[in-house]
Structure 1
Amino acid sequence: MQKVYKGFLVILINVVFINFSFGQKQSKNAYNQTDFDKNKIFNEVYSFWDKNQSNWFSVSKDSITSPCFVDARKYKGINNYGVTFRSKTYRNFHFIENLSMCFLKVEISKCTYNANNNIVDIEGFVSGNNDWGSNVFIKTKKEKKYIEIFLGEKTDTSRICYLGRTVNKDSVDVKINNKETNEFTALDTFPAFYFKKYAYSKILMAEKQPFKISGKVSKNTLLAFGSSYSEIFDIGAMIYNPEKNNRSKIIKRENYDCVPLITSNKLVADIKKEEAEKKEITYYTYTKNAENYILSRQFGKAKDEYNLLAQKYPVLFARDIHNAVRCAILSRDLKAAFSWSEKLAYKGIDLPYFNAKIFNGLRKNVEWKNFSIKYDSISKAAKAKWNLPLKKELDNLLNEDQAEYGLEKRKSQKVLYETTERVTDKLIDLLKREGFPSEEKIGSLVIKDTVLISFPDFNVLILHAIQKEPKNLKALNELLDKSGNNLEYDQKRNFNNTIGYGSCFRIYKGNLYNSKACSQNNSLEVRKISFKFNNPNGFIMDYGNYVIEANDSKDPKAVDDYYRDNYILVMKLTDDWEFYEKY
């Protein structure tokens, strides 16, 4: 009897233990936003390729016809796969790729689970950017965009990223590693997943759109919102294994802005990496610091940076001397102002340069008479050392170029291309024979007596070569790179490097706009651009990168609508809508 009793006791204890264990794993029947936030997975990992089998810019010929969530984080950008573009019509053509991804904001208002049939009912709201970045190639008509919602178990696969019809191949020759291409030329393959069996819903992408979805769940069920950056929640873990995704800290996103991944064909991650690795202090470290101080109206500190620059480098570009003089005057250091002004004489700049308003106090100073005599003597001596044959040959090349490019006599695109190729050949030969025409060799460009131009007039030859991309462009760039490294050519700040390619900013009707597909955290860039329109002392600065939209459209309303839909108004810059027509 005693043995039987003990056996019964053991069985009873086991039964109680088993029931207690099951009781611990029983699921809740209601879940809230916090539960979903804890079980959010694959943050900023998967983008959404829809049922038309298209990614950001191309269709697919893969056998899988279902929409896919694709981990394309290793996407390099089209140019970086070795794809090259060349115009067949001799018109200016530059392929610029900007890729941004945008976030969704998912708000859960109600979620109930029925343990009897394993059905979950979810309701809430989703907000999304209707102008999410994707790959920006050309302006397209505004189309309605949707968010697709899936509730089911994922099936892993892979997806091929094809080149697609990125340009009109009738007018542009497209090759990859010097081989012919078509729209199904493969660029890369990415891991992905899709849903075979699932509950489905679809809503318009806009501000706080309501959604409902209901379906059976298992321990592997996911809730996925398909868009730019997709939002994915581990519903199976939330219901059946709540400790699986337990986090000490939940990161909540308060907005659904876009983040740039590729800017002007360059990966943003690479740009940041390069910036972090740049520890070497160069000529431009000092000028950048000085210009940032000028933006903040801290002229004394800017002057100190220019003083450091002069200590490190015996020969400076005229634009930096031009700025240093102004900083000295505005910080009331007239001794330094006279000293810096004298350096301009070595650039062959004539004395009337000092007729500008900012020099009024300098001209009234008792030192002015002696200074002006000495300055004039130095300037004449500098001009006597100029390489006049080099200067004359440059003038001849400029005349040859302008004979075809002149607005009144402009020829066909083919003629312009042939002209640029011919002139570039001659320019290359000239640079090889005489070296780069630095400010010390041919002087600095000043117009209207007092206005210093930061780039030489022959710069248009380089600009046309960049635009037309003749076959000899590589040879020219190699020479320019060498001259830039020797600080004979101000390559880093050259006008050709700031002609708007890939810029997020547009100036239209005197207003500054920022693309909705770009980051809005760009206060420094905005300050640079706005400084251009509030620069009474005539500083020569890095005014940032922007595109000017001419106010000459035949359909101004369409342009206005385009800006309203795709850009954010930053500020009013000027009432002079056609400021760009003035030199």
Structure 2
Amino acid sequence: MKRISVILLIVLVNIASIPVSLSQNKSGYKNYNQRDFDTNKVADQVYNLWKSGDNWFSKSKDSISYFVDDRNYKGIVNYGVTFRSKNFRNFNFVEYLSMCFLKVEISTCSYNPKDNRITIEGYVTGNSNWGSNELIHTKKQQAFVHIYLGEKTDTIKACYLGKIVNRDSVEVKWNHKEIDAFTVLDKFPAFYFKTYAYSKIKLAVRHPFKISGKITAKTWVAFGSGSNYSEIFDLGSMIYNPNKKKAKKSAERKEPDCKSLITNNRLVSDIEKENARKGEVNYYTYTKNAENYIFARQYARAKEEYNTLNQKYPVLFARDIHNAIRCAILSRDLKTAFGWSEKLALKGVELPYFKAKIFTSMRKNPEWKNFSSKYDSICKGSKGHWNLRLLQELDDLLQEDQADYGLENRKNPKVLYETTERVTDKLIDLLKKEGYPSEEKTGCYVVNDTTLLSFPDFNVLMLHAEQQKTKNLDTLKELLDQSSNALEYDRKRDFNSDTGYNSCFHIYKGNLYILKSYERNDVEIRKLRFKFSNPYGFIMDYNNFVIEAYNYKNPKETDDYYEENYNLIMKLTDDWEFYEKL
């Protein structure tokens, strides 16, 4: 009986192992894994899928989908395209461009040498939330990932202007000539598949896919979706030439994210190159360092940055003096605080400015009596050297501008354009004759005795010229550039230059949000938090952020939008009705 049991056990074991043996030796199939695909990945962060009808600057008569190497795309205005409103309404063309990343996970891949067929299964993860500020929320359309398996054909793909504006209201020119949607701006290397296996899946978090097809030594498999870098693998090399030298593997991304390419019409790569070239120390190097120390509450170190700035530059902007005084006080260095304060007298800031609470320790100090007497004398002397004619003519121009722009009597767009064109001509003539109205020539601006304004009221004249795109705008910009280089005009920190678009940070109902596709940046978050916890009245740059207006008609719509697209970072303030008015 015992012998029979052993024989039966052996038979059962053999029967159980039959399916396994058949699977392992299934007609000579070859299996491949994630590592094989990763080592045969083609051109990371290079190709972009241009699918007919999905891409506004790739309009063409054929219906072929192209994988395009458009890394050298410059941005529309950088090709020399200009826009001008025909109906005199404000119009600014602002282009932002970002690309997100797809992530392809291979679960199984089997290749049958007998019929040269390959079957690939796995998951694709991705998103199309690429970080542009949506000023108007529209219903989100479902995006897809398109999968192609076949032999590629190289070609050249044209980048067209496309139908980006309403030609009835906006004039579009290139080299001073009218152009249409099919004007070619640039051409890029590209490829497409003539004969291929095809599959389409939803663009989502870890969506399954499966694709099968014939394979040759030239076969690629490509995954592409609008606003996403394509994931492309050389299957021919993986199967027929496994010892081929592979391209250097790119750094692995933990999760799919996005990469900004163009911001406010400027190439991010150009901005980075400029920053690299600006390795030399300049005025704004010290102010940026000082403000970073202020954000960290390291006032003594900020004070030293301002002291160095003072040694390097004979004339400073009032906002930096304003901050330097506070850093000295908070560092308990009243001697330095008194020294800095005298510099404000040269800007025409009167003694009531020092009634603010931050100056309590200075007013109680025995040195205050001598300081206040000397201060009044310096302040009166500086005002005696002001260019009063320049001040008067600026005020006249401001009155002429506001006569038509005022909220109570705002004129129609055509009149506003004509007013701005006329006022800008006069402003240009004034700048050529008298020079830029710097703080040394015309003083700086204080409201309610103690609040220093970063920029004067006449800045609105430059803002309107920029908004209206007046014919004389280039001449004005040239003059302002000269004044900026001479540190008379603080153009780098002028709000006229800050559009506020395309920020990953949004503030809505007192809450700070960040786009889900962006990594958390604690330094930037500290700066934004400081904006709402700045008891000492520092004048700071808080970087780019968007304040979302409350949707009184349909609050749930906006709440749902933020729930879907943003992560909540923190509550900044309950007084959100106040900052919406900023």
**TM-score (structure 1 length as normaliser):** 0.90
Report what 1:48 is aligned to: 49
Range moving further from structure 2, 365-374 or 205-214: 365-374
Counterpart of 2:372, as a letter, is S
Equivalent pair of 1:511/1:573 in contact (CA under 8 Å): yes
Counterpart of 1:185, as a letter, is T
Report what 1:560 is aligned to: 559
Range moving further from structure 2, 278-287 or 445-454: 278-287
Deviation of the 1:250 alpha carbon: 6.8
Range moving further from structure 2, 131-140 or 115-124: 131-140
Report what 2:170 is aligned to: 172
Report what 1:67 is aligned to: 65
Equivalent pair of 1:27/1:240 in contact (CA under 8 Å): no
Report what 2:91 is aligned to: 93
Report what 1:23 is aligned to: none
Deviation sequence 1:265-302 (CA, Å, 0-9, x none):
11111111111111332211211111111111111111
Deviation sequence 1:360-389 (CA, Å, 0-9, x none):
111111111111111111111112222222
1:37 counterpart = 2:38: yes
Report what 1:435 is aligned to: 435
Give the 3 Å change call, closer, same or farther, for CA 549–410 of structure 1 in structure 2: farther
Counterpart of 1:360, as a letter, is T
Report what 2:533 is aligned to: 534
Q: Secondary structure at the match of 1:108?
A: strand
Q: Secondary structure at the match of 1:408?
A: coil
Deviation sequence 1:433-491 (CA, Å, 0-9, x none):
22211111221100011100011121111111111121121121122111111111111
Distance 1:471 1:502 in 2: 28
Counterpart of 1:167, as a letter, is V
Q: Secondary structure at the match of 1:40?
A: coil
What RMSD, in angstroms, separates the aligned Cα atoms of the two structures? 2.3
Distance 1:253 1:340 in 2: 49
Give the 3 Å change call, closer, same or farther, for CA 139–73 of structure 1 in structure 2: farther
Deviation sequence 1:388-434 (CA, Å, 0-9, x none):
22212222221221222111211211121111112112212222222
Q: Secondary structure at the match of 1:528?
A: helix
Equivalent pair of 1:508/1:548 in contact (CA under 8 Å): yes
Range moving further from structure 2, 568-577 or 484-493: 568-577
Deviation sequence 1:231-267 (CA, Å, 0-9, x none):
0111122122211144686743321111011111111
Deviation sequence 1:178-232 (CA, Å, 0-9, x none):
1111111111111111112211111000001011111121221111111221101
Distance 2:434 2:360 in 1: 40
Deviation of the 1:81 alpha carbon: 1.0
1:500 counterpart = 2:500: yes
Report what 1:446 is aligned to: 446
Give the 3 Å change call, closer, same or farther, for CA 341–206 of structure 1 in structure 2: same
Distance 2:345 2:28 in 1: 84
1:548 counterpart = 2:550: no
Distance 1:512 1:96 in 2: 25
Report what 1:424 is aligned to: 424
Deviation of the 1:38 alpha carbon: 1.3
Q: How many residue pairs align between the two structures?
A: 554
Distance 1:395 1:106 in 2: 62
Deviation of the 1:579 alpha carbon: 2.5
* Counterpart mapping for 1:186-197 below 5 A: 186-197=184-195
Range moving further from structure 2, 419-428 or 350-359: 419-428
Deviation sequence 1:151-191 (CA, Å, 0-9, x none):
11111122111111111111111111211111111111111
Deviation sequence 1:87-120 (CA, Å, 0-9, x none):
1121221111111111111111111122222221
Give the 3 Å change call, closer, same or farther, for CA 27–278 of structure 1 in structure 2: farther
Distance 2:489 2:464 in 1: 17
Distance 2:279 2:541 in 1: 21
Give the 3 Å change call, closer, same or farther, for CA 152–277 of structure 1 in structure 2: same
Counterpart of 1:323, as a letter, is N
Distance 2:251 2:543 in 1: 33
Give the 3 Å change call, closer, same or farther, for CA 360–300 of structure 1 in structure 2: same
Distance 2:285 2:488 in 1: 17
Distance 1:134 1:157 in 2: 31
Deviation sequence 1:1-44 (CA, Å, 0-9, x none):
xxxxxxxxxxxxxxxxxxxxxxxxx9861111111111111211
Deviation of the 1:46 alpha carbon: 0.7
Report what 1:298 is aligned to: 298
Equivalent pair of 1:59/1:164 in contact (CA under 8 Å): yes
Distance 1:333 1:535 in 2: 20
Deviation of the 1:140 alpha carbon: 4.6
Deviation of the 1:546 alpha carbon: 2.6
Counterpart of 2:269, as a letter, is A
Report what 2:182 is aligned to: 184
Report what 1:340 is aligned to: 340
Give the 3 Å change call, closer, same or farther, for CA 475–502 of structure 1 in structure 2: farther
Report what 1:3 is aligned to: none
Give the 3 Å change call, closer, same or farther, for CA 137–180 of structure 1 in structure 2: farther
Deviation of the 1:131 alpha carbon: 2.1
Equivalent pair of 2:547/2:580 in contact (CA under 8 Å): no
Distance 1:522 1:278 in 2: 23
Counterpart of 2:537, as a letter, is G
Distance 2:503 2:248 in 1: 40
Which sections of structure 2, spanning at least 5 residues, go unmatched? 1-26
Give the 3 Å change call, closer, same or farther, for CA 411–564 of structure 1 in structure 2: farther
Give the 3 Å change call, closer, same or farther, for CA 137–96 of structure 1 in structure 2: farther
Equivalent pair of 1:62/1:159 in contact (CA under 8 Å): no
Counterpart of 1:91, as a letter, is R
* Counterpart mapping for 1:18-167 below 5 A: 29-50=30-51, 52=52, 54-55=54-55, 57-63=56-62, 65-132=63-130, 140-167=138-165
Deviation of the 1:566 alpha carbon: 4.2
Deviation of the 1:326 alpha carbon: 0.4
Range moving further from structure 2, 449-458 or 477-486: 477-486
Range moving further from structure 2, 494-503 or 347-356: 494-503
Report what 1:400 is aligned to: 400
Equivalent pair of 1:349/1:443 in contact (CA under 8 Å): yes
How high is the sequence identity, in percent, across the aligned residues? 65
Equivalent pair of 2:28/2:112 in contact (CA under 8 Å): no
